[in-house]
Amino acid sequence: MTNATNIMRMSELYVPTLKEDPADAEIASHRLLLRAGMIRKTASGVYTFLPLGKRVLAKVENIVREEMDAIGAQEIMMPALQPAELWYESGRWNDYGPELMRLADRHGHEFCLGPTHEELLTATMRNELRSYKELPLALYQIQVKFRDEIRPRFGLLRSREFIMKDAYSFHADQESLQKTYDDMSAAYERICKRMGLDFRPVEADSGQIGGSVTCEYMALAEAGEAELVHCACGYAANAEAGDCLARPTVYDVSKMEKIATPDVHTIAELAAFLDIPESSTVKALSGKNAEGQLVVMFVPGDHDLNELKAARAAGGFELLTDEDMEAFGLHKGSMGPVGLPQEARVIAARSLQAVPKWVVGANEEGFHYVGARLGEDFDVDEWADLCTVQPGDSCPECGLPLEGARGIEVSQVFQLGDKYSRAMGATFMDEDGEERPFLMGCYGVGISRSMAAIVEQHNDENGISWPLPVAPAHVCVVPLVVGDDFVHPAAEKLAAELSKLGLEVVIDDRKERAGVKFADADLIGWPLQVIVGKRSLSEGKVEIKRRSTGARRDIDLVALRDGLAFTLRNAKTWGNELSLFGQLFE
């Protein structure tokens, strides 16, 4: 356990790599972070970071910290324990549901383990940040967070204890909020790029956090939980949140006709029965809004109603139970706009406005209408954006068909407005001496989640391939012989020289077969391997291998050193220089 130089030694590092895939690891990042000895599961959705995993985590944290500091945000640290009172004040003690982990202290006082810190920071500020002169202010922390996911899975992608960077800003006016929001957004783009992520900033929905203007940064990956749509023009959105411009098709018949549709209860069955595409049919859904009003919604047959959009359009929207439907005289498999109960409020997807004739249920068991004429046979009370966007829908910016993708949400920016400051009475004195609630923004980066997203994008059948700025070390020197007086000393000397150049170096000084060392190096994912063998060394050469491309070549020892020294001298910002090895070795 000596560490005379700052070279890491595989003989001492605790890196318990696994040969076999762990049983319950379904996706690449989960499987490979376990196999590479970087994380271990402690409980469902709760992980321990082993030395190499902790190193990667620290790299991600530092990138985030640097970018936050660069835009003038100030680092603080709030506690994980949050008094329940604050969450009662904001109304979220009840709203947050069972994902909020709760406990009582020995005196019976209620606390939660913070999944986010709007309440706590707003409460801290309301007593002290009193004047417009102290605004704007942006504070951030990098801290452990808790969310009791009902089904934790996918390793670090959906865990119950995780590391977040969360930032909060306080403003006197919207212009100032917008400025910080823009600064944060730009920082988030830089953070994603520096981590080596292929990402899209997408339109998002603000969910439980509240507020209105928001954007998610999505790392594109098949393992992602979020469905995205994006367009060559640059537009991208979370399918849940984007503006849905569906393209329904018209089944043209000369007049409205009621047809018997025995055993037809679903859109798929209706389309099959009529031999038309689902996009030519119209789907109906009945529900009640928050005030108990009956609301019937219509969407293109090939689209799904989006719950959040429906609730927003109707003022709450809870689907009717079978009993309720019966009470209203509605038929589950054959609802339509013709002959609805008088009291029904009819809201239809905006994209149906262009469809003059609808294929819909006849509000009669076993019957549908074709050619029901909008404005003649029936009317719609309101048009709204009701659907989850699908690939093939029109881009709201340019009209071309959207493409679909899956993404991992690595970060999100929000304009909260005065949601929390108003609820919690956090005000400041403006220039005219008036008390006003702060405008606030909040900005999150999933630190441990980003680590998983990076692996999802940078892996192959042999293991992880870390981008340089987040790799646990830059170079692994692999002596093929250990303990001799030729190969091993040369490898140690080279490792020391590379370390002196400012590279983070690990040497695989274990007495293992070459195959074991190569397999571990590929599994762990060091960006560059330098292989020191007897034969090439006797010619003054070593072999280098770039993990990302698999490219190998022999290189003169002197050329390696001098080349690296030259490149490092000329790399403007070394941490950013993703292509450093590329410049030198290809």
**For binding to a copy of itself (CB under 8 A), which residues are involved?**
1-3, 12-14, 16, 40, 42-43, 46-51, 53-55, 57-58, 69-83, 98-99, 101-103, 105-106, 109, 111, 113, 120, 124, 128-129, 134, 136-139, 141, 143-144, 146, 148, 150, 160-161, 180, 183
Q: How far is the CB of 419 from a copy of itself (least distance, A)?
A: 21
Minimum CB–partner distance for residue 109 and a copy of itself (Å): 8
Angle separating helix axes 447-457 and 51-70, nearest 10 degrees? 110
Q: Are 218 and 238 in contact (CB under 8 A)?
A: yes
Q: List C-alpha distances in Å: 6 to 2, 53, 581.
A: 10, 18, 21
- Least CB distance to a copy of itself at residue 463 (A): 19
Closest to a copy of itself by CB, 47 or 154? 47
Nearer to a copy of itself, 58 or 429 (CB): 58
Least Å from the CB of residue 461 to a copy of itself: 24
Closest distance between a copy of itself and the C-beta of residue 162, in Å? 9
Least separation in angstroms between residue 538's CB and a copy of itself is 31
Q: Which of 359, 407, 46, 14 is nearest to 239 (CA)?
A: 407
Closer by beta carbon to a copy of itself, 152 or else 371: 152
In 116-170, where does DSSP find H-type helix? 118-126
Closest CA to 354 of 300, 405, 293: 300
Rounded-to-integer distance, Cα 266 and Cα 548, Å: 49
Which whole-number Å values give the CA distances from 109 to 102, 104, 223, 381, 486, in the listed order?
11, 5, 40, 50, 67
Nearer residue to a copy of itself within complex by CB, 69 or 379: 69
User: Smallest gap, in angstroms, from Cβ of residue 449 to a copy of itself?
Assistant: 15
Q: How does strand 382-384 pair with strand 345-349?
A: parallel
DSSP conformation letters of 468-483: GGGSS-SEEEEESS-S
Q: How many CB atoms lie within 10 A of CB 423?
A: 17
Q: How far is the CB of 1 from a copy of itself (least distance, A)?
A: 3
Nearer to a copy of itself, 100 or 299 (CB): 100
| Alpha-carbon gap, residue 546 to 529, rounded angstroms | 6
Q: What are the start-end ranges of the H helices in 286-399?
A: 307-314, 322-328
Q: Give the pair of three-digit tokens for residue 276.
A: 């038309």
- Respond yes or no on whether the N-terminal peptide bond of residue 136 is cis (omega within 30° of 0): yes
Number of other CB atoms surrounding residue 116 within 10 Å? 21
CB of 12 to a copy of itself, least distance (A): 7
Nearest approach, Cβ of residue 166 and a copy of itself (Å): 13
* Phi, psi angle pair for 392, to nearest 5°: 100, -20
Q: Which of 253, 226, 229 is nearest to 243 (CA)?
A: 229
Task: Name the residue nearer to a copy of itself (CB basis): 159 or 306.
Answer: 159
Q: How far apart are CA 66 and CA 75, in angstroms?
A: 11
Closer residue to a copy of itself, CB minimum distance, 157 or 531: 157
- Give the span between the Cα atoms of 181 and 443, in whole angstroms: 8
Of 16 and 207, which CB lies nearer to a copy of itself in the complex structure?
Answer: 16
Sequence length of the chain is 586
Cβ atoms of residues 555 and 449 within 8 Å: no
Report the nearest approach of a copy of itself to the CB of residue 425 (Å): 17
| Minimum CB distance to a copy of itself, residue 525 (Å) | 18
Task: Indicate the residue among 101 and 344 with the shorter CB distance to a copy of itself.
Answer: 101
Q: Whose Cβ is closer to a copy of itself: residue 146's or residue 251's? A: 146
Q: What is the largest CA-CA distance in the chain?
A: 95
Give residues with Cβ within 8 angstroms of 63, minimum separation 6.
191, 194, 195, 469, 470, 575
Report the alpha-carbon distance of residue 472 to residue 56 in Å, rounded.
5
- Of residues 83 and 575, the one with the C-beta less far from a copy of itself: 83
Reduced to 3 states (helix: H, G, I; strand: E, B; else coil), residue 178 is helix
Q: CB of residue 504 vs a copy of itself: minimum separation in angstroms?
A: 13
**Nearest to a copy of itself of 117, 230 (CB atom):** 117
Nearer to a copy of itself, 3 or 342 (CB): 3
Q: What does the alpha-carbon distance between residue 286 and residue 457 come to, in Å, rounded to a whole number? A: 42
